[in-house]
Amino acid sequence: MRIQVRLPKIQPNEYELPKQCPYDGCSGDAFKPHGRKGEAKAVRDTDHDKVTSYRYKCATCGYTFRIYPAGVSQAQQSNRLKAMSVLLYILGISYGGVADFLWSFGLQMSKTTVYDNVQAAGVVARKRQKATVKHGGQRAIIGADGTFLKVKGVQVGIEVVVDDETGELLGLDITASESTEEIEPFIREIAEQVKAEVLVSDDFNSYKNIADNADLAHQICQSHIIRNVDKVVESIGRPTRMLHPPLMPKGVKSSYHQIERDCRILQGLVRDRPPDAKQILAILYDCYKATLTPRPKQKHSIWYRMKRLIWRLWMRWERITLHDHFEQLDGTNNACERLIGWWIKERYRTMRGYKRTLSIRNVVAVTSLLGAAAEPYDMGLLYA
Ligand SMILES: [Zn+2]
């Protein structure tokens, strides 16, 4: 994984007045200094131990408030220290570990404060992510994918939607499964908000249904298709080596020995995607179509498995090859996989599980915000 950030810094002589009175319900925008002298404020930071705050008074409502130099808020810690704790946590150190690390440099911070800092950054990241979806303009291609994590020992599903081009997280939902009913409303809402045209996903039926229902063009990830075909071919095995091959079902045109050859053809088709692939699939399907569907609990014959695989590829061929006609598509769901791999799984590997699902939302939002940025992310924006 790659994270590039800029940490905020205290600018002890830079002060900015608020655009609007901080008092709830007052829209005043004119302020007068209240008392001339500034007051010293102790601050925890890498470079400064105190700064000067000034009091101002709202000309409209009379409310007085303090202003602090850039990089400092009412909090005891500077924005830089907050951002440092968030960054260390994202890099894989536990809440307690971050506190220990900072303490060893003389920077006092409790484990609970580290936790609060990470969650607060997550809340801001999620707000930004929501604003991106609402006002960030069209995202023609979105990717969707799911994964599973444990929260207090219980498995929960995580469904993510990303901008396929930039890798930005557009939405994250906690789900019980990857069924159509479970994930469709969430994916469709984002698709509509960003005016998506194409959905990229893996081979699950849920995504196929969602793409159809939402009228989106659908790209099934190329590497998933190749992997799935290889897996089925592998499981069908090398029939020609069997000493006592099973009997060929009635009406089937591919003999036991031809199955291996047909498997190679399928593996070639999904890799090379020749223009006459659908005709080839039709011919192959014809060789197996006489196989009867097995009764429940009956073993699936290799002919039946071939029939199913060929049918599946044939019926999905437009979705498998969409990227051959769509310049912006690379045929993979890499944007989603990177987000899940780097920003969900990799971070999760080093911890003992999440305690709250809200924490997953916050941590993933902030890691992907930092991770997907094209330039070093200015962490000061989390405290703007
Ligand atoms: Zn006011």
Looking at the structure, do residues 217 and 230 belong to the same domain, yes or no? Answer: no
Tell me the CATH number at 191. Answer: 3.30.420.10
Global confidence as pTM: 0.84
| 214 CA distance to ligand 1 middle (Å) | 48
| 157 CA distance to ligand 1 middle (Å) | 46
At 375 the pLDDT is: 87
What rounded mean pLDDT belongs to the chain?
91
Tell me the mean pLDDT in the region 36-42.
Answer: 90
Q: Cβ of 335: how many Cβ atoms within 10 Å? A: 24
Looking at the 3D structure of the chain, how many domains does it have? Answer: 2
At 77 the pLDDT is: 96
Looking at the structure, do residues 275 and 309 belong to the same domain, yes or no? Answer: yes
Looking at the structure, do residues 308 and 236 belong to the same domain, yes or no? Answer: yes
- Longest pairwise C-alpha distance within the chain: 99
Looking at the structure, do residues 336 and 351 belong to the same domain, yes or no? Answer: yes
Looking at the structure, do residues 244 and 272 belong to the same domain, yes or no? Answer: yes
The distance from CA 72 to its chain's CA centroid, rounded to whole angstroms, is: 32
Residue-wise over 203-217: b if at least 16 C-beta within 10 A, else e?
Answer: bbebbbbbbeebebb
84, part of any domain: no
Lowest mean pLDDT among 40-49, 301-310, 369-378: 369-378
| 57 CA distance to ligand 1 middle (Å) | 8
116, part of any domain: no
pLDDT digits (tens, 9 = 90+) for 317-374: 999 999 998 888 989 998 898 888 888 887 777 776 777 888 888 998 998 888 888 7
**C-alpha span between 293 and 225 (Å, rounded):** 23
311, part of any domain: yes
Looking at the structure, do residues 286 and 212 belong to the same domain, yes or no? Answer: no
165, part of any domain: yes
Residue numbers of the domain that contains 160: 137-221+330-371
pLDDT digits (tens, 9 = 90+) for 121-169: 999 999 998 998 888 889 999 999 999 888 888 888 999 999 998 888 9
Looking at the structure, do residues 212 and 166 belong to the same domain, yes or no? Answer: yes
Looking at the structure, do residues 314 and 232 belong to the same domain, yes or no? Answer: yes
117, part of any domain: no
| 197 CA distance to ligand 1 middle (Å) | 47
pLDDT digits (tens, 9 = 90+) for 231-273: 988 888 765 566 677 778 888 898 888 898 999 999 999 999 9
Please name the residues in contact with 384: beta carbons below 8 A apart, sequence gap of 6 or more.
Answer: none
**C-alpha span between 367 and 86 (Å, rounded):** 9
pLDDT digits (tens, 9 = 90+) for 276-302: 999 999 999 999 999 988 898 888 888
Dihedral (CA of 179, 182, 186, 192) sign: positive
pLDDT digits (tens, 9 = 90+) for 44-65: 999 999 999 999 999 999 999 9
| 38 CA distance to ligand 1 middle (Å) | 21
96, part of any domain: no
Q: How is residue 382 annotated by DSSP?
A: G
**What is the distance in angstroms between the CA of the first residue and the CA of the last residue of the chain?**
26
At 220 the pLDDT is: 96
Looking at the structure, do residues 173 and 162 belong to the same domain, yes or no? Answer: yes
Tokens representing residue 229 in the block = 């075909």
| 120 CA distance to ligand 1 middle (Å) | 26
| Nearest of 364, 367, 381 to residue 146 by alpha carbon | 364
| Nearest of 341, 351, 352 to residue 153 by alpha carbon | 352
Please name the residues in contact with 116: beta carbons below 8 A apart, sequence gap of 6 or more.
Answer: none
| 20 CA distance to ligand 1 middle (Å) | 8
| 53 CA distance to ligand 1 middle (Å) | 19
Looking at the structure, do residues 238 and 301 belong to the same domain, yes or no? Answer: yes
| Nearest of 204, 217, 229 to residue 325 by alpha carbon | 217
| 17 CA distance to ligand 1 middle (Å) | 13
| 297 CA distance to ligand 1 middle (Å) | 74
Tokens representing residue 298 in the block = 């009956």
